[in-house]
Amino acid sequence: MERLTILLLLALALAACGREAVPPTPASLDPGRAIIATESRLLERGSGALASGDKAPDFSYTLPDGTTRRLSDLRGTPVLLNFWASWCLPCVEEMPALQRAYSNAAGDLVVLAVNRNELPEAIARFAPKVDVTFPLIANVSGDIGDRYAVTSLPVTYFINRDGTINARHIGALNEQLLAERLEALQ
């Protein structure tokens, strides 16, 4: 019995120490024009609901070329932070509007699309269907969405140039509402 207890404790300790790495997107999967960030990590833990005026919780994401960026690196540019999944029909339906807003902003808007709990391979298979050019960020653990209180999809946060939250929208965005929200960004 004592050996069993020791083995159980050892197994629990080893499981707590290890962290499963997310494998890179296989080269055989062509994501089209999409940029898939295969790794991401919440950098600012916290709890409680986020409101307009709050600082957007920071996270990092690793691009295909190996560079790691942080949300906080984007201060000075407005950010549209979208939470989505490939199985979410409203998420898929709003992607063309997000792409048009991104393209029309001519560099004065960053769009980051954080995927909720899907592997990079699933995102790579999905990407050509929506043909977007902004980063699709894999967040397999879901910790970023959890910090942003995402309980349904899609959810979009509009982040001001100073890194504060301007607004949160739950549900799919249409062209008019998207334009209004972007116009209100500071």
Q: Domains in the chain: how many in total?
A: 1
Q: Is 57 a domain residue? A: yes
Give phi and psi for 158, each to the nearest 5: -110, 115
- What is the reported pLDDT for 57? 98
Report d(CA 86, CA 108) in Å as an integer. Answer: 27
Find, among 16, 164, 133, 143, the residue nearest to 83 by Cα.
Answer: 143
Report d(CA 89, CA 153) in Å as an integer. Answer: 9
Q: Where are the alpha helices (DSSP H) in the chain?
A: 2-17, 89-104, 120-130, 143-147, 175-184
Q: Is 13 a domain residue? A: no
Q: Is 25 a domain residue? A: no
Domain that holds residue 147: 31-184
Grouping H, G, I as helix, E, B as strand and the rest as coil, residue 8 is helix
- What is the reported pLDDT for 48? 85
CATH of the domain at 145: 3.40.30.10
Q: Which residue's entry shows tokens 């990092």?
A: 60
Find, among 82, 74, 78, 58, the residue nearest to 150 by Cα.
Answer: 82
pTM: 0.84
User: Mind listing the pLDDT tens digit for each residue in 73-127?
Assistant: 999 999 999 999 999 999 999 999 999 999 999 889 999 999 999 999 999 999 9
Looking at residue 141, its amino acid is: S
